[in-house]
A and B are shown apart, each in its own frame.
Chain A
Amino acid sequence: MKQKTDVRQGTLDLMVLKTLDVLGQLHGYGIARRIEQISGDLLAVNQGTLYPVLLKLEQEGAIASEWGASENNRRARFYRLTRAGHRLLEAETRDWERTATIIGRFFEVKAEDLS
């Protein structure tokens, strides 16, 4: 049975920020592709949901956007990380790593470790 993977709330934000951090300026399609490649088809469907997230991040001031030319020479909206976005990414990354570490430890625990 194929399971529909819904991206956890906020995770997509973090993915967008990290993608822009690593790759610099990108347009929407570029971001979607990157996330798709890295996450292993996690975003295979519903790529469109990316755009409201981009708008939200932009309104929060974490990213900025401007018009530019895409690889097939058409007008496309390019997004880049702002300074506030960098700070946000660092904070989120720390949070994420801490959570991941804690959860990771819980998964490693076996019954005999607790006795």
Chain B
Amino acid sequence: MRVMRRFLTRLANFVARRKSDQRLLEEIEEHIALQTAENLRAGMEPAEARRHALMKFGAREAVREEYHAERRLPSIENLLQDSRIALRTLAKSPGFAAAAILVLALGIGALTTVATWTNAVLYNPWPHVAAPRELRFVDSTVLGNQGYSVHYDQYRFVRESGRSWNDTIAFAKTSVSLVDAGVQPQALSIGIVSSNYFQFLGIQPQSGRLFLPGANDRSYGSNDEIVLSDALWRSQFDANRSIVGRAIAVNGRPYTVVGVAPPDFAGIFGGVAEAAWIPLSSLRDLSADSGPDPLFSYGLQVALRLRPGVNDRTAAAELHTLANTFALQHHPGSALARWDRDLNLRDAAHFSRGLFGTIGDQLPVLLGASVLLMVLVCINIASLLSQHAARRRREVAIRTALGATPTRIAAQVLVETGLLAFAGALAGWAASTGMARSLYVLLPNFGVPLAFNLQSDSRILLFVTVVGVIVTLVCGIYPVRQSLRISQNAALHEGGSSVTGGSGRSLGRRFLLGLQLGICFIVLVCCGLLTRTALNIANRATGFNRANCLTANVDLSRSGYSPERGLAFQSALLDRLRTVPGVASATLTSHLPMGDDGEGNTQDISIPGYVPAKGEEMAVITDFEGPDFFRIMGIALRQGREFDTNDNASSTPVAVINETMAQRYWPKGGSIGSSIVIDKHPYRVVGIVRDYAYSNPANADPEPLLFVPLAQRYASYVIMALRSRTTPSAITAQLRQAVASLDDGLPVENVRTLEDVTSQRYQMSRIPAELLSVYAISSVLVAMLGLYAVMAYSVIERHREFALRIALGSTRAAIFRLVLSSSAWTAVLGLVTGGLGSIAAVRLLRSMLFGVTPFDPTTYCVAAALLVVTVFISGFSPARRAASVQPIQALRTE
């Protein structure tokens, strides 16, 4: 209470800038007058009496100082004063300030970007969700593999019988077609959720209502409702509140919009952005051939919240027990059969990372790299600051002579460092908001929109502040120590003890710089190798023609096509596309070369006459192709023929295979004319095509591929591929028109050129090289700055030496060479350490390289040359300054 009151009074005095020197002076005067009078009474001489009174009072200035310190808040006042001085000092050397802030922004920006992602992926993945860290997820084990989705009946059983959890939800994601007046038909990635989903997550609508938790998920068609995401509401419905209550068509069926979710909420499915949500009970309406009970075979994600006081181990044990009970009830005798799976409990981090293990894997690498960069930044900023402090030797000495305490001098240096650090932190933070978004390119393309919570929340701001403080302290220590040393010597005479300056300390700094250059060298080498890898991959023959081809896909089952109608539609579509003006040729396919990786299209096959080895899986990637697919794609035919319009539902089933498949299953040849059995139907092999880059352009080990005619094996999801007579963009509008003329409610998705499709694959090989080159540039910049600082510092320290040398007849060119040669030694040290380090680093990189050896001489030479050039550039300006020392001036100022 007393302390508080005292502080408040002082604060008030400080704010009001109240100075009551008058009162104290008057009191002191009176005190001394009274004491003098007393002394006179005691019989002293008047002059003696006053002198005694003054002596007895003590040092008046000290009392005044103490009195003022008591009265106001000296720490804040000093801080403000120091800040003003620091701002003035920095304004006097804008180049220094700009360089320091830029480098700090670079380091802090990189670190904050990684922190933002870490936050988005690991700590705050789902804005608006209540207590997201307390969510637990359930997955199932199928045939010994974990991570599978959960069956609805199992979910119901877990929900109703479980005692360790309060409530559970089930959800899945799917793609649907959205049709509405004034909106082009489009495909959306949406969530299908149990009715208690929103209540469970604690989401509040921004308009309308969300799903009512009591609804029965299995009473199909009873609640055809849809909740829109904020993003969809804004982009398609102009943020119009009157949309609530209206019906919109999802896969051709009317759904009533009941509400709009809050901004930034995009579901809890990894980083997949869901555009809207519909209840599980609407599942039957989504596809044409879903059967009477679609939930029976639908894979669901399950989340739950544990009861207070229940730990994860108890809950996991109960889950295993329940899974076992469920299996015994439904399939007595065959425990854990195909439908009846063991259940596993996962924490929230597992799920948010689960789908994007890629990010989870990359984050530690990125974090390590950015921390290393930050350490280098700090070392070099400290070095730069101490160089700066050395120039102000005289100023520090004068301040010391005038009575500045070591604390004040240290505070002054720290305040200056702090200003730089926080300016850098602010710039870095601003840059990170943009950089964080650019990291999306690191994610593999799932063909669905992604959304991570990349908002700079309070946690990120706190992080940036803490980094700023740490940087201030770490970078400030060295210049503070240096200033204090100067202040202790307190000598006004410039120059240290010796003519050449202390060499011991600068040796240590040089060694550190050598190490840094070594790191730069390693990064440059890795960057070079990866760049060559990317170039090699880009130049590698793909085995098909990427140029001048437009692609787009349609999903017929979503729009309610039965297989018969779908087949007729596809045939009509092909006929229509072929007649479009400007189209040279057109075909349909289920997979584009270098499109997705085809993992989902494997078929179990058997080949009469081929006996699989024990444990060999007879499953190959199988694609469905329209007529002339291989000719139109430019894929070379090795033997036989390819599909034509005569291969249809009524003709003999035929198949084409690639070379690898032919060699794998018919090592002695004779594959043409043999048959392959798929689903008990034999397909006769009529042709062999050359291996081409199926998904990954760098894959040197092609997988066997099987192709069958689309007309003989229906697929509802097909991709149109058109060769244009002119350019792909010239026929985009015609493509849409052609589809609309057959069905104007059918969304045309992913309209893009084959170049675009394939370039995404190339991007994957370019990303490491690009990221590393950004890193290489940053680390070289940082090292340059550090190098410059050390060189400039040594030139200041040795400036008397240079003056003497010139006075004694040394030429300026010789001085220039002298300074540069010392930096050459640092370069040599860097090359040696970097060379040794790169042997280890390149070993880690080996698996990522393609068509280039880890010890590629060209790369090493270029990296070394770059490093040497860097060293000389940063040494140039200090060397010139050394050479331009005026001996008369330099020696006279001593």
Contact = CB atoms under 8 A, between A and B. Distances in A.
B62 interface: yes
Contact of A60 (B5, B37, B56, B66): B5
Contacts of B3: 60
A20 interface: no
A24 interface: no
B18 to A, nearest CB: 12
B30 A76 contact: yes
Given A60-B5, A62-B2, 8 more contacts: A28-B31, A32-B31, A48-B59, A52-B63, A55-B70, A56-B70, A59-B10, A61-B5
Contacts of A74: 30, 33
Interface in B1-18: 2-3, 5-6, 9-10
Interface stretch (B20-28, B166-174, B546-554, B668-676): B20-28
A75 B31 CA distance: 11
Interface in A30-65: 32-33, 44-49, 51-52, 55-56, 59-62
Given A48-B59, A48-B63, A52-B66, A60 B6 contact: yes
B34 interface: yes
B31 A49 contact: no
A27 B35 CA distance: 12
25 contacts: A27-B31, A28-B31, A29-B31, A29-B35, A32-B31, A44-B56, A48-B57, A48-B58, A48-B60, A48-B62, A49-B58, A49-B63, A51-B24, A51-B27, A52-B70, A55-B70, A59-B5, A59-B6, A60-B3, A61-B2, A70-B30, A70-B34, A72-B33, A72-B37, A77-B26
A28 B60 CA distance: 15
A56 B31 contact: no
Contacts of B26: 75, 77
Contacts of A51: 24, 27-28, 63, 67
Contacts of B37: 72
A28 B27 contact: yes
A49 B59 CA distance: 9
A62 to B, nearest CB: 8
Contact of B66 (A47, A49, A59, A75): A49
Contacts, number: 81
B66 A76 contact: no
B766 interface: no
Most interface-central of B26, B27, B38, B58 (chain A CB within 10 A): B27
B398 interface: no
Would you list the 7 A-B pairs with minimal beta carbon distance, nearest first? A48-B63, A46-B58, A29-B34, A48-B58, A52-B66, A59-B9, A29-B31
B71 interface: yes
Contacts of B56: 44-45, 47
Nearest to A55: B70
Nearest to A30: B34
A77 B6 CA distance: 20
A74 B35 CA distance: 14
A55 B23 CA distance: 11
B852 interface: no
Most interface-central of A27, A33, A49, A71 (chain B CB within 10 A): A49
Most interface-central of B55, B57, B71 (chain A CB within 10 A): B57
Nearest to A71: B34
Contacts of B24: 51
B790 to A, nearest CB: 48
A59 to B, nearest CB: 4
Interface in B28-81: 28, 30-31, 33-35, 37-38, 55-60, 62-63, 66-67, 69-71
A84 B872 CA distance: 73
Nearest to A74: B30
Contacts of B58: 45-49
Contact of A75 (B28, B30, B59, B62): B30
Interface string B720-749: 000000000000000000000000000000
A68 B30 CA distance: 12
Interface residues of B, number: 31
Interface in B503-559: none
Interface string B633-654: 0000000000000000000000
Interface string A11-25: 000000000000000
Contacts of A59: 5-6, 9-10, 70-71
A76 B27 contact: yes
Nearest to A76: B30
A68 to B, nearest CB: 11
B30 A27 contact: yes
A32 B63 CA distance: 14
A28 B5 CA distance: 23
A74 B60 CA distance: 21
Contacts of A72: 33-34, 37
Contact of B55 (A45, A61, A76): A45
A4 to B, nearest CB: 12
Nearest to B4: A60
A13 to B, nearest CB: 11
A77 B63 CA distance: 17
A47 B58 CA distance: 6
Nearest to A77: B27
Nearest to B35: A29
Contacts of B71: 55, 59
Contacts of B60: 48
A69 B289 CA distance: 106
A60 B2 contact: yes
B193 to A, nearest CB: 62
B7 to A, nearest CB: 9
A55 B2 contact: no
A61 to B, nearest CB: 5
B71 to A, nearest CB: 6
Contacts of B57: 46-48
A72 B32 CA distance: 12
Contacts of B23: 77
A33 B53 CA distance: 12
Most interface-central of B31, B34, B69, B70 (chain A CB within 10 A): B31
Contacts of A60: 2-3, 5-6
A48 B62 CA distance: 9
Contacts of A52: 63, 66-67, 69-70
A55 B21 CA distance: 12
Nearest to A54: B27
B31 A47 contact: yes
Nearest to A48: B63
Nearest to A84: B2
A95 to B, nearest CB: 14
B44 to A, nearest CB: 16
Nearest to A36: B56
Contact of A48 (B2, B6, B28): B28
Nearest to B24: A51
A87 B38 CA distance: 34
A109 B10 CA distance: 46
A74 B56 CA distance: 21
A70 B69 CA distance: 28
A47 B62 CA distance: 12
A46 B155 CA distance: 84
A44 B52 CA distance: 11
A75 to B, nearest CB: 7
Contacts of B6: 56, 59-60
A70 B35 CA distance: 12
Contacts of A33: 38
Contacts of B70: 52, 55-56, 59
A40 to B, nearest CB: 15
Contacts of B28: 48, 51
A30 B342 CA distance: 90
B333 to A, nearest CB: 83
B461 to A, nearest CB: 36
Nearest to B58: A46
A52 B71 CA distance: 8
Nearest to B69: A52
A56 B59 CA distance: 19
Nearest to B56: A47
